[in-house]
Amino acid sequence: KSSMPTPKVLPHDPLRRLAKNVWMVRGSNSFPLRRNMIVIRLSSGELIIHSAVAMDVPGLNALTALGTPTMAIVPSRGHQKDAPFYQAHFPDLKVVCPAGARSAVEPNVRVSGTVEDVIPTLGWVLHKVPGIKTDEFVYELPLEGGGKMLMANDVFGGPNSFEDSFLGRLLAPLAVPGNQFGIARIFRWRMIDDLAAVRHFAAELADVRDLRVVTGSHGDPLT
């Protein structure tokens, strides 16, 4: 049984299409940091959810109109709170997480496997983020119709990560400098042990050919 309280559905935006068979839902927190759920539809019609955001009934109806949620990726121990919501709504949903996060995730949700074992079977490429204090990956996947997508968690953030409120504007300096896509100050200060390693990692990802979409779990994506 999960040790976490029942996830609360907080305000969220509707599904937004980023590319063919790729959508994003921008959700909220109890504090003014926005968070993103990414939805990938496979050729089978199955849906893969990355960094779950609990949705209201109209949102869930829109989601299931796209396909059947079959897998949820918990990208890190800090992004697991709404995974139990989806496993409760979709009992056959498989949950996967990085091996290093499994001990923190498993008490709260049934974990079917690790991303290291499961994700490569989809034909996706795993890029383990170096130089940080937690296990986290960037997922490289092909887009239907051509091109590739990079799906990150906290290592990269986008513009408008914080809500446009008094507290959100007060916290905005913790996001990416210049309100751009990059490494958020708060992640750099709290989670990075080796900034040079992370910068080198980012430069290598920039060499991925035919890149069309880059997402993070906070802020606007690059398309």
pLDDT per position as a tens digit, 173-190 = 999 999 899 999 999 999
Give pLDDT, residue 7: 67
pLDDT band at 1 (very low <50, low <70, confident <90, very high): very low
pLDDT at residue 5, as a whole number? 53
Evaluate if residue 29 carries a pLDDT over 60: yes
Distance CA 118, CA 98 (A): 10
Residue 35 has pLDDT above 60, yes or no: yes
Closest CA relative to residue 13, chosen from 3, 23, 1 = 23
Q: Mind listing the pLDDT tens digit for each residue in 84-121?
A: 999 999 999 999 999 999 999 999 999 999 999 999 99
Report whether pLDDT(204) > 60.
yes
User: Counting beta carbons within 10 angstroms of the beta carbon of residue 5, is it exposed (0 to 12), middle (13 to 18) or buried (19 or more)?
Assistant: exposed
**What is the model's pLDDT at position 8?**
83
**Contact predicate 163/32, CB 8 Å:** yes
pLDDT at 199 over 90: yes
Residue of 84, 134, 128 whose CA lies nearest to 105: 84
CB-based contact 77:101 (threshold 8 Å): yes
**pLDDT on residue 118:** 97
Q: Which residues contact 166 (CB under 8 A, 6 or more apart)?
A: none
Cα separation of 25 and 128, whole Å?
24
In this predicted structure, the answer to whether residue 2 has a pLDDT above a threshold of 80 is: no
pLDDT tens figures, 40-93: 999 999 999 999 999 999 999 999 999 999 999 999 999 999 999 999 999 999
What pTM value is reported for the model? Answer: 0.95
